[in-house]
Amino acid sequence: MSVINTNMAGIVATNAIIQNDRDQEIAMERLSTGLRINSGSDDAAGLAISERMKAEVSGLEMSTRNANDAISMLETIEGSSREIAVALQRMRELAVQAASDTYSVTDRAALDLEFGQLFLEMQRIATQTTWNTMTVMNGANDLTTAAVTSTSSTIQLGKAAGQTMTLTIKSWDPRTTIRNNAQMQTVNPVTGAQILAGNVWSAPGTVGGGVVATRGNAASLGFDTDGNDNHSTTGAANTSHRSTETQAFGSAVLWAGENGVATPAQRINIISQRNASYSLVNLDKAISAVSEERAKYGAYISRLEHAGDNLTNVARHQEQSRSRIADADYAVETSELSRTTIIAQASTAMLAQANSSKQTVLALLRE
């Protein structure tokens, strides 16, 4: 059937060109961007899946950074706590030395001078060590009180809320070991004679969590031999294990007395044989507790390293899955571009052929 108004061959060729141009544009876009999905029309379901997976991957990668930052923070704290541990060891040496009666009052005063400076340095480290402008070693408390709380830091270690790890950092400020019913002995700086009694008991018992000592008694200083905590209130309900303390020195008493009374709170000292012996007992407790606290930081770091490695592994494999959905396969897309280019040339030639074929109708009119 020879017609002019409707060029069916031309229409078919035109439609083929339009469809092929669209496929060619898609192939060129994918090759230009490297993505198989550039808009929702490319793959609606694939777009939703890949975007969700992309969010998860970015969350996992940021969580890995969080883990590494937490490790750095803990290493900072552990490094500073190591200096406190070294100071405690030296203070113990001085206490052992001062506990011997081969030293005079003047000698003990000289020993206590270094003892006190080491105490002040422990206090300075605890209150001035910061991480990213945050004070991390004093339990957010610079006051001379036992009412200190541990610092809890929540580390986000997952792609969603609730996937966290909590780091508990006890206070390293030695003043937070205060026990109100502990009182250091005071002596005459010349004769060494006792001026005011220290922390004592008249019957077998313990101080802090046991029998309260009475001030003014001239008997020997009290020793918390049962390892009870430094709570200033008596009774079994106020005793605790070292792990429940909110300060890093366990049951040790490094700051004694009360604020606002005739005998104000003060650090432990070694100006007398009694005080040196009392300090020695508490320094032993402090060294043991400090070692335990530092070991906890090492355990935290080990866990965070494994957490970071796991997060990296999960993120890598999830990124591979997302890539299979969203990224362009260059082998496929270059083949597609070659195919559509050839078809474009062929369909254009066929359209020209379809248009020229109608010229045969003119031959009939000329007849």
The CATH number of residue 81's host domain is 1.20.1330.10
Helix (H) or strand (E) holding 110: helix 105-128
Domain assignment present for residue 41? The answer is no
| 228 and 113 Cβ atoms separated by less than 8 Å | no
Q: Which of 56, 60, 79 is nearest to 301 (CA)?
A: 79
Domain assignment present for residue 308? The answer is yes
> 101: how many CB neighbours lie within 10 A of its CB?
8
Q: Which of 174, 133, 139 is nearest to 153 (CA)?
A: 139
Question: Do residue 111 and residue 230 come from a single domain?
Answer: yes
- The boundaries of the domain holding residue 190 are 54-314
Domain assignment present for residue 322? The answer is no
- On whether the pTM is more than 0.85, the answer is no
Q: Which of 204, 148, 198, 209 is nearest to 173 (CA)?
A: 148
Look up residue 33 and give its two tokens.
């961007």
pLDDT in tens, 212-262: 333 333 333 444 444 444 444 444 444 444 556 788 998 788 888 765 555
Question: Do residue 106 and residue 147 come from a single domain?
Answer: yes
Task: Give the model's pLDDT for residue 96.
Answer: 96
Mean pLDDT of the chain: 80
What Cα–Cα distance (Å) separates residue 328 from each residue in 29, 43, 118, 340? 10, 12, 65, 17
Highest mean pLDDT among 83-97, 120-134, 250-264: 83-97
Number of compact structural domains in the chain: 2
Highest mean pLDDT among 43-57, 121-135, 220-234, 353-367: 121-135
Domain assignment present for residue 320? The answer is no
Residue type, 261: V
> Angle at which helices 44-98 and 273-326 pack, to 10 degrees?
170
Question: Do residue 29 and residue 156 come from a single domain?
Answer: no
Q: What is the largest CA-CA distance in the chain?
A: 148
Residue 335 binned pLDDT confidence (cut-offs 50, 70, 90): confident
Let me know the angle formed at the C-alpha of 282 by 293 and 150, rounded to the nearest 5 degrees: 35
Task: Give the model's pLDDT for residue 259.
Answer: 59
Residue type, 147: A
* Weakest-pLDDT range from 36-45, 206-215, 278-287: 206-215
